[in-house]
Amino acid sequence: MLDREYINRRRTNSAGFTMIELMAVITVSAILFLYIFSAVPKWQDAFYDNNNAAYNNDCARNVFAKICNEIRESGWDAPDWNLNASSNTITFNRCTGAVGATRTWDVPITYTYDAQNKALVRTSGGRSVTVCGNVTSVTFTPQGNNVMITLTIGTTSAKGRSLSINLTSLILPRD
């Protein structure tokens, strides 16, 4: 027969988890998983917002660089130069070369802000092309022999956050 003392000693020294300990671990783990999974949509929103902001930034910088380069290649004495004070339209010609003291000019180029479609439109040789969308504002301002350009591009995220970029540069056309 088994000794009763041996049986009691074996019960008290047994290893393992109690049901209460197991339930506590499961509860804490469930709370942690719920917290982590509830944060995933916020991380996704932040990713998409940053992705859209980066796309707007790239588009704005590319278009802005093209406009600045074309204006640098023009001259104040270009035959079709037209810039009124603080306007959202500019017209100019790019210099294509010179024969002696006489310059040759390309066809006129006009950049216009289309407020209805929130777009920047480039017109040259009778052909109009939208070069940038989501444009909030464009301003061309003469400052002495320089042109101050301000371009703002912006959208809103799916959650209503404002995603915009504002670029400004002072350009000196060729003399």
Q: In what order do the strands lie in the sheet with 89-92?
A: 89-92, 109-114, 119-124, 127-133
In a domain, residue 135? The reply is yes
Q: Which of 35-44, 79-88, 105-114, 163-172 has the highest mean pLDDT?
A: 105-114
Q: Give the pLDDT of residue 7.
A: 56
In a domain, residue 77? The reply is yes
Q: Please tell me the least confidently modeled range out of 17-21, 32-36, 60-64, 132-136.
A: 17-21
Q: If you average pLDDT over residues 77-95, what whole number do you get?
A: 83
Q: Return the closest-CA partner of residue 77 out of 99, 100, 101.
A: 101
Q: Which domain holds residue 93?
A: 30-171
In a domain, residue 133? The reply is yes
Q: How confident is the model at residue 127 (pLDDT cuts 50, 70, 90)?
A: very high
pLDDT in tens, 56-85: 788 888 988 999 988 888 877 777 888 877
In a domain, residue 104? The reply is yes
In a domain, residue 148? The reply is yes
**Average pLDDT of the chain?**
84
> What domain count does the chain have?
1
d(CA 110, CA 92): 7
In a domain, residue 25? The reply is no
Q: If you average pLDDT over residues 12-33, what whole number do you get?
A: 82
Cβ atoms of 81 and 59 within 8 Å: the answer is no
Report field, pTM of the whole predicted structure over 0.75: no
